[in-house]
Amino acid sequence: MGRRRSPVRAPAHPDGNLARPLDRRRPTARTRAYEGGELPTTGSELPSEQRLGSLIKQAEQALITEKNRVLRPFGLTVPQYSALLMLAENPNISGARLARLGGVTAQAMNGVVALLDQRGLISRTTSPDHAKVLLLRLTPAGVALLRKADREAVAVERRLMGSFSDQDLAAFRKQLATAIEVLTAHADD
């Protein structure tokens, strides 16, 4: 057991008052500027409120939060639900392929797959082509749970789409597709 250290003390004041522990949060030029309502300049060429990335991220987080809320009664998270949905559409695929479809790392998908397997929602069978590859598919319990959960997740999607006119929704889809195209154009560079 080590010795207890006494707090660092400021030197005694000239007026004879006892020294107080040092306040590690003393005002600096930066904090004084904040208190005065000034914000430091970052040298950025584009203010954060004008950045599309911030807005896209906020929309994504809002969608994930809402889907997590409606999936919670089924004991599912969005990544687990997404894995079930992808397996329903692509039965007998490997975990690595499932990860690629989901846009996550194989390690992240392995965690999701392990949880789904523990709950009996998916099964793993050895590939006839590669003895070390396990193929994934939904179990009857996984199919039943996905049907129920999907109704709620689709309701969220429909509520979001319903907030747009048909014309605005078509334009929004086109704009998102353009953003994806622009941002992935140099992915192989």
pLDDT in tens, 43-99: 678 888 888 999 999 999 999 999 999 999 999 999 999 999 999 999 999 999 999
Phi, psi of 183 (to 5 degrees): -80, -20
In the CATH scheme, what is the code of domain 52-183? 1.10.10.10
Strands 93-94 and 122-126: unpaired
Tokens of 17: 């008052």
pLDDT in tens, 9-31: 444 444 444 444 444 455 555 55
Phi, psi of 21 (to 5 degrees): -60, 145
Contacts of 141 (CB under 8 A, 6+ apart): 119, 120, 121
Domain spans of the chain?
A: 52-183
